[in-house]
Amino acid sequence: MTPAEVLAELRELRELDAPTHGGRVLAYVYDSGLDELDALASAAAEIARPLNGLDPTTFPSIAAMERDVVAFTRRALHGGTRPLGRRIVGSVTSGGTESCLLAVKTARDLWRAQHPERAEQRPRLVAPATAHAAFQKAARVLDVEWDPVPCEPDGSVRADEVIRRLRSDVALVVVSAPAYPSGALDPVREVSSAAAARGILCHVDACFGGFALPWWPGLPAWDFRLPGVTSISADLHKFGYAPKGVSVLLHRGRDRHRTQFFATTQWPGYPVVNPTLLGSRSASPLAAAWAIIRYLGTAGYADLTAACIRATEDIAHAVAPIPGLAVQGLPVGPALSLIADPSVPPAQQVDPHHLADAVARSGFKIQHQPGLRQPNGTRLPHSAHLTITPVTERSMPELIGALTRAADAVRGTPQADPRLELAALRALGYGSGTRVPGPAMAWTILQLAGAGGAAKGRSLPGRLAPLMALVERLPAPVAEALLTELLARVSEP
Ligand SMILES: Cc1ncc(COP(=O)(O)O)c(C=O)c1O
């Protein structure tokens, strides 16, 4: 094929994708609405494309860009000037999940070093149930015990519920600023000061809010202004508006930061020193983020955040009078989650997943979030998540119209009831979660549930509400096996 033919084919493939620009997709993508920002990011990424981020001594431009990015983030998160305290230092990583994994690895290694007598024990990772799933992944990968703190149905967590779990076997407590599912800002001050008093590390996951909350007025302190906060993650590929593949993890103290590293001289190749999980890594996302930061500066981020604030307020005001629909809790920052209004009778409620399906028919994608049954028996409601970006403002009348029409269309329709599918799965022996389906059986079940089209290059079924209801009600290991199969089949050759 000629290069032109190859690129034409790629463009054709891209036509199947959801629109990444223009505010139609209210999750996954963070569109600043500034065309020149995208052009700048692309040009910077291209200049850095041949580099290998593995070795900033061979390619000092990488070290220079990383210094600038870490310094900018540190200033934004009030970690810049601590003449008496421990210095705030950190690394650029490949994304939120890697930053979260590294925060947990650091805490685990420090806990192990402090407690050599407990070599047989797995330390705990305490976090509200709304903490990002990346921390569950970290717990599994790093052999730490995941200890979720039940949350209130409005998505908030009680500080005392977190604090009473902070015992000497806790390696790390995590709070979010804000939590992705509901937009709730966790009680960072209370938790971080209790953690500090017990000698426990406290990570603030600001992957979502780290480049928006610093310019969001009227918030309580949630960052390095609080002395008990020992690390913060903040994603440049979210509200930093950089292309995917770049996040920052900051630590209070060089000693903690250095614990994050992996180094070995015990092989016959080049000495390996990796600050992050990857070895060879692209410098393009770093270069793009660096260029965006230099171009926007603090004032640019403040302007873009102001657009997010206006759009978030507009949506909240527009949803308030829609009968049967409600915003969950008290979101902080550029996200909110829609739930069925629990204060009205079911016949007047708007089911958020039917709403999301109906809104999709108007060309807007809002994100289905299944409900969660917590270990204490309470349930966090199923909801529809909206990430609000600067461009959301531009499509506001259309978006509000779509939400209102969709709510009118589905009002009174109860949450999908997967009774038949559940009975069939129980009959097949998958009722308890102790037995999980293998690839072939999982695939058969998915096809019966109507999700088979996704694997043939087509999109998921137009109505996701029934699949989400099934996911919510199945034993978690069974649901996870089904979803694993679905995603594996999507890209299986
Ligand atoms: C609060 C929070 N933490 C962590 C992550 C994980 O980030 P990533 O998808 O970049 O790995 C996200 C992603 O949405 C998030 O919202």
* 3-state SS track over 191-239: HHHHHHHCCCEEEEEECCCCCCHHHCCCCCCCCCCCCCCCEEEEECCCC
pLDDT reported for residue 280: 97
CA of 239 to the centre of ligand 1 (A): 11
Pocket test for ligand 1, best of 28, 97, 186, 385 (most atoms within 8 A of CB): 97
Burial class (CB in 10 A: 0-12, 13-18, 19+), 431: middle
pLDDT reported for residue 249: 98
Give the number of the atom of ligand 1 that is nearest the alpha carbon of residue 179: 1
Distances (CA, A) of 339 to 179, 377, 383: 16, 19, 5
Residue range 16-58, pLDDT digits in tens: 999 999 999 999 999 999 999 999 999 999 999 999 999 999 9
CA of 97 to the centre of ligand 1 (A): 6
pLDDT reported for residue 105: 98
pLDDT reported for residue 433: 85
Q: Which residues of 162-175 are buried (b: 16+ CB within 10 A; e: fewer)?
A: bbeebeebbbbbbb
Give the number of the atom of ligand 1 that is nearest the alpha carbon of residue 206: 1
Q: Please give the average per-residue pLDDT across 123-139, as a whole number.
A: 98
Is the C-beta atom of 135 inside 6 A of ligand 1?
Answer: no
Is the C-beta atom of 176 inside 6 A of ligand 1?
Answer: yes
Phi (first) and psi of residue 350, to 5 degrees? -105, 115
pLDDT reported for residue 458: 57
pLDDT reported for residue 449: 79
Helix or strand holding residue 92 (H, E): strand 88-93
Residue extents of the structural domains in the chain: 45-292, 419-490
Q: Is 429 helix (H, G, I), strand (E, B) or coil?
A: coil
Phi (first) and psi of residue 206, to 5 degrees? -110, 30
Q: Please give the average per-residue pLDDT across 184-213, as a whole number.
A: 98
Is the C-beta atom of 370 inside 6 A of ligand 1?
Answer: no
Compute the mean pLDDT over every residue in the chain, rounded to the nearest whole number. Answer: 96
Q: Please give the average per-residue pLDDT across 245-253, as a whole number.
A: 98
Burial class (CB in 10 A: 0-12, 13-18, 19+), 328: buried
CA of 386 to the centre of ligand 1 (A): 14
pLDDT reported for residue 456: 62
pLDDT reported for residue 312: 98
Instruction: Give, as one character, the DSSP assignment of residue 242.
Output: P
Residue located nearest, by CA, to atom 6 of ligand 1: 96
Helix or strand holding residue 407 (H, E): helix 396-410
Is the C-beta atom of 186 inside 6 A of ligand 1?
Answer: no
Is the C-beta atom of 245 inside 6 A of ligand 1?
Answer: no
Pocket test for ligand 1, best of 30, 235, 247 (most atoms within 8 A of CB): 235
Q: Is 358 helix (H, G, I), strand (E, B) or coil?
A: helix
Helix or strand holding residue 338 (H, E): strand 335-340
Q: Please give the average per-residue pLDDT across 127-149, as a whole number.
A: 98
Residue range 399-458, pLDDT digits in tens: 999 999 999 999 999 999 999 989 999 999 998 888 999 999 999 988 887 777 766 655
User: How is 434-483 classified by DSSP, letter by letter?
Assistant: SS---HHHHHHHHHHTT-GGGGGTS-S-S--HHHHHHHHHS-HHHHHHHH
**So what's the architecture of 45-292 in CATH?**
3-Layer(aba) Sandwich (3.40)
Strands 170-176 and 124-128: parallel
Residue range 301-322, pLDDT digits in tens: 999 999 999 999 999 999 999 9
Distance CA 139, CA 323 (A): 41
Distance CA 298, CA 314 (A): 24
Instruction: Give, as one character, the DSSP assignment of residue 301.
Output: H
pLDDT reported for residue 462: 72
Q: Please give the average per-residue pLDDT across 233-241, as a whole number.
A: 98
Distance CA 26, CA 365 (A): 6
